[in-house]
Each structure stands twice: as structure tokens, then as C-alpha cells.
């Protein structure tokens, strides 16, 4: 195996001090198109990513495309969870990377690892992901917080991005890789998990019981 091939397959680990989050086009109209995952779990996953960004204090950029048209407004929960995030309402560019203000906001984070999720996967996620990879950013796509019409279009998008060098992750794996070590904070991350995974509450309840004064 050549050195270049070996390097491309190396484990590039997320670092909370090097990562930024880009949430692209989680808009009311576009959300209605998502069919590769059920609406309630999908909303939960998107909000989990927002909570992860908040928990790890990751610089975040929110963006929408053509809000005045059928795409509709941004999920209000995102601005509520991330009130300090940069917000770039694009007037019409389909690829967020074609919008100068968006790219400026991304580069202003001074982070080289970009965590991206959005709707729809093969367009709103894939286009900026591929554009960022072309400018030597490391790209991590949160697959379960990105949605599209069906599994065929989803898989085509995943293949295209991964072949270009993007890493595909889930929000749970994202949180764990950023956290690195449970000793950093059990209660905080455990509570985040419990808020988005009902069965995880059992773990936290059991843990709290073992820590309770005798």
C-alpha cells in the first residue's frame, strides 16, 4: 500500500479544540422531505448535535437557503439552543460554500475539523462537504442528523462523500469521540445522552444510585 493511500485511511480523531459544527438547512419545508428516517427520531438527532455543540462549546454556524420560498424557516430550537451561533441566511445559493458570508463564518472559527449535518443529504450536506474537503478541511458528516428522500439517494451521497475523504459518524459516536474519557465529566455527558436516548436514563439512574450517600 502506498504512503498516500495509507495516510488517507489513517484514523483522524475529532478534537474538541479543533472542531466546528455546521448545521445546514434544517428548515421546516425541507424537513418534510426527509423519509430515510422517521420525523421524531430525526428531530431528536438534530437537537442532540446542537446539544453536543453547546456542551463542548464548539463554534457553530447555522445556515438556511431561500427561507422566503418553500424551504421555510430554520428549526427554532436550533437558535434557542445555540443563541451565539453565527447565522447565515443564504438568499439562494444551493451549495452553502458558494455563499461568501457562510465561508467567512466557517473560516472565522479557525477550526480545521468541520462537523456537518443538514437536509437534504445529497445536496445541502454533500455540496459544502465536498467543497470544504477541496480546501483541505477535515470533514465529519453526522449521518443520523442528515436526511433525504430515501435510502437510495442517501447511500449515493454517503458514498460520494466518503470516497472524497469525509468521515461518516452518528451523533452518539461524535459525542464520545469528542469527550475521550468518562472521567472528564460523567454527569454532564450522561445527562445529554439520557435526554436523547430514553433507555440511557436507566444507566444514569443506576449510576446515581451507586453514588448516593449510604
What is the pLDDT at residue 202?
75
* Cα(102)–Cα(24) distance, integer angstroms: 10
Domain architecture of the chain: domains with CATH: 17-178 (3.40.50.850), 181-214 (no CATH)
- The answer to whether residues 186 and 176 touch, using CB atoms and an 8 Å cutoff, is no
pLDDT at 171 over 80: yes
Q: Residue 64's closest CA among 56, 55, 73? A: 73
pLDDT at 45 over 70: yes
Tens digits of residue pLDDT in 144-169: 999 999 999 999 999 999 999 999 99
Q: What is the mean pLDDT of the chain?
A: 93
| 172 or 207: which leads in pLDDT | 172
Q: Is 98 helix (H, G, I), strand (E, B) or coil?
A: helix
Asked about 124 being catalytic, the answer comes back as yes
* Cα(86)–Cα(123) distance, integer angstroms: 21
Among the listed residues 21, 124, 178, 189, the single catalytic one is 124
What is the pLDDT at residue 2?
43
The mean pLDDT value for 19-44 works out to 98
- The answer to whether residues 113 and 137 touch, using CB atoms and an 8 Å cutoff, is yes
* Cα(100)–Cα(146) distance, integer angstroms: 23
14-18, 122-126, 198-202: range with lowest mean pLDDT:
198-202
What is the pLDDT at residue 175?
98
Tens digits of residue pLDDT in 62-72: 999 999 999 99
127-131, 135-139, 206-210: range with lowest mean pLDDT:
206-210
Tens digits of residue pLDDT in 47-60: 999 999 999 999 99
* Cα(87)–Cα(37) distance, integer angstroms: 26
What is the pLDDT at residue 6?
46
Query: What's phi and psi for 89, nearest 5 deg?
Result: -85, 110
The mean pLDDT value for 161-186 works out to 97
What is the pLDDT at residue 161?
98
- Predicted confidence band at 206 (pLDDT cuts at 50, 70, 90)? low
Amino acid at each position: 500500500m502506498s504512503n498516500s493511500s495509507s495516510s488517507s485511511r489513517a484514523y483522524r480523531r475529532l478534537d474538541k479544540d479543533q472542531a466546528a459544527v455546521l448545521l445546514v438547512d434544517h428548515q421546516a419545508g425541507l424537513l418534510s422531505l426527509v423519509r430515510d428516517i422517521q420525523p421524531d427520531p430525526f428531530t431528536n438527532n438534530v437537537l442532540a448535535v446542537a446539544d453536543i455543540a453547546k456542551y463542548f462549546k464548539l463554534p457553530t454556524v447555522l445556515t438556511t437557503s431561500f427561507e422566503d420560498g418553500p424551504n421555510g424557516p430554520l428549526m427554532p430550537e436550533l437558535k434557542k439552543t445555540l443563541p451565539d451561533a453565527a447565522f447565515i441566511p443564504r438568499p439562494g445559493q444551493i451549495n452553502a460554500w458558494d455563499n461568501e458570508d457562510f465561508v467567512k463564518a466557517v473560516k472565522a472559527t479557525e477550526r480545521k475539523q468541520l462537523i456537518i449535518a443538514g437536509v437534504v443529504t445529497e445536496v445541502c450536506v454533500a455540496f459544502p462537504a465536498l467543497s470544504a474537503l477541496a480546501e483541505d478541511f477535515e470533514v465529519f458528516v453526522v449521518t443520523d442528523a442528515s436526511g433525504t428522500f430515501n435510502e437510495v439517494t442517501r447511500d449515493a451521497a454517503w458514498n460520494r462523500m466518503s470516497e472524497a475523504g469525509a468521515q461518516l459518524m452518528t451523533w452518539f459516536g461524535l459525542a464520545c469521540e469528542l469527550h475521550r474519557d468518562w472521567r472528564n465529566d460523567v454527569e454532564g455527558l450522561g445527562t445529554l445522552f439520557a435526554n436523547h436516548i430514553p433507555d440511557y436514563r436507566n444507566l444514569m439512574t443506576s449510576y446515581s444510585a451507586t453514588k448516593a450517600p449510604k
